[in-house]
Amino acid sequence: MKKIMFVALSAFLIGMFTFYFNYEKDMKAGVKMSEYSYMDDVSIVQRKAGVHKWTLNSKKAVFVNENDVDLEKVTIDFPEKGLVLNSDTGSYHMGTKSFTVQGNIKASTNDYDIVADKLTWNAETQQLTSDTKVNIVGKRFSVIGDRLEAVTDKAKLLNNVKAVFHGK
């Protein structure tokens, strides 16, 4: 009787292990992002060689496809530059780690504010650009131009640049 119970229990356990390992893929919960998938209160942190480059926070992230994410109410902090950027909307490309923000953009540092309608960050070249009008406003100056190119600590306003300097 003990031998029959032992054989039956062994067969049952072998059957359970076989079932589990053969159907493990079906039993695991998979997350598939589609155009209807979204996340609330998302943070994306970009590090390069262990250095914190930027943090992107968004109230809502909607997955357009497997690489592209549309963002709502965006805040991006560039700690090395002391720059905080706020925008109504944006898009993030997961493959290149680049993003575009648009709508009521205001980027602020201790010394000046940047106001624009659209800015694009290229993670590969570490370049911030805009092909729309950009206004840089400091405590004693204001500069406006049709385009912006910024790399590391240098920014250039291009095309139809106008500057106003205020006295003491």
pLDDT value of position 29: 42
23: in domain: no
User: What is the model's pTM?
Assistant: 0.69
Distant-in-sequence, close-in-space partners of 50: CB < 8 Å, separation ≥ 6? none
pLDDT in tens, 2-36: 667 665 655 555 655 555 555 544 444 445 555 66
Considering the domain boundaries, does residue 10 fall inside one? no
Give the domain CATH number at 42. Answer: 2.60.450.10
The predicted structure's pLDDT at residue 88: 92
Q: Is residue 48 part of a domain?
A: yes
State the total domains in the chain. Answer: 1
| pLDDT tens-digit map of 118-154 | 988 888 888 888 899 988 888 888 899 998 888 867 7
Higher pLDDT, 45 or 5: 45
pLDDT-derived band at 86, boundaries 50, 70, 90: very high
Domain housing 123: 38-165
The answer to the question of residue 86 being in a domain is yes
* Residue 137 forms part of a structural domain: yes
Question: In degrees to the nearest 10, what's the CA dihedral of 123, 127, 130, 135?
Answer: 130
